[in-house]
Amino acid sequence: MEEIRRSAPSVEEAIEAALAELGITEQDALIQVVREPKSGILGIGSQEAEVLVRVRRSKPAEADESLAEQGEIAADFVDGLVARMGIEATVDPAFEDGTMYVDVLGEGPDDDDMGLLIGRYGQTLEAIQELTRGAVIQRTGERSRVTVDVEDYKRRQRDRLEQKAHDAAERVARTGNPETLDPMNPFERKLVHDVVASVAGVTSGSTGEEPERRVVISPSS
């Protein structure tokens, strides 16, 4: 199978489902957003998001021109947003481990400013991510592939989550007993799917509805 179409309530959920079925990571895929979700009025006229995901024949070693452009657009947007909030920070794009980050690093004397941008359990940072995603789509007409990070919060989160997912996958491979992880957002679920794909003898899928959607790790059949 070289390509697949999937629909879901959000773009990220549709991508997640398609990548899981193809058995590839996002870095190995070409992703086209066919349709953005619409909420409708009282549920009438609502539409799910639809994506087309193709297997990339060659994996890029560095950021392509389109991704570099997205990084600059996202950095400009986040820089303006942070400035309007009255927060002193440096905002720069950085391509690392196959991901285009927009890094926000504090410059002012008040460390609480960065905590304000991250929010409780990263909720404010996720909101900034969503706003940035919309800005990139508006400017480029393409799906945003940029991750906004504040003081390496998502990198630290990524390291912890990848270790947790790897430990769980190895347990499932050893015992043959499926494990259901805690609820996660789309960014976190993608990290877990990528880790599980690297462990022999196991597979992963998702269950439930947002915000209670969870990753299930199961033995390969």
Q: What is the pLDDT of residues 52-97, one digit of tens each?
A: 888 877 555 455 788 899 999 999 999 999 999 999 999 999 998 7
The domain defined by 153-221 folds into Ribosomal Protein S8; Chain: A, domain 1 (3.30.1370)
Q: Are 9 and 48 in contact (CB under 8 A)?
A: yes
Predicted confidence at residue 171, as pLDDT, reads 97
Q: What is the pLDDT of residues 95-127, one digit of tens each?
A: 987 789 999 998 866 668 899 999 988 889 989
Q: What is the pLDDT of residues 171-202, one digit of tens each?
A: 999 999 999 999 987 778 888 988 998 899 99
DSSP β-ladder status, 146-150 and 99-106: parallel
Q: Are 96 and 121 in contact (CB under 8 A)?
A: no
With a threshold of 0.75, does the pTM exceed it?
no
Q: Are 146 and 100 in contact (CB under 8 A)?
A: yes
Domain residues of the chain, as ranges? Answer: 1-59, 65-151, 153-221
Nearest residue to 218 (alpha-carbon basis) of 179, 189, 161 = 179
Residues 6+ away with beta carbon under 8 Å from 192: 161, 165, 181, 184, 204, 215, 217
Q: Which CATH class is domain 65-151?
A: alpha beta
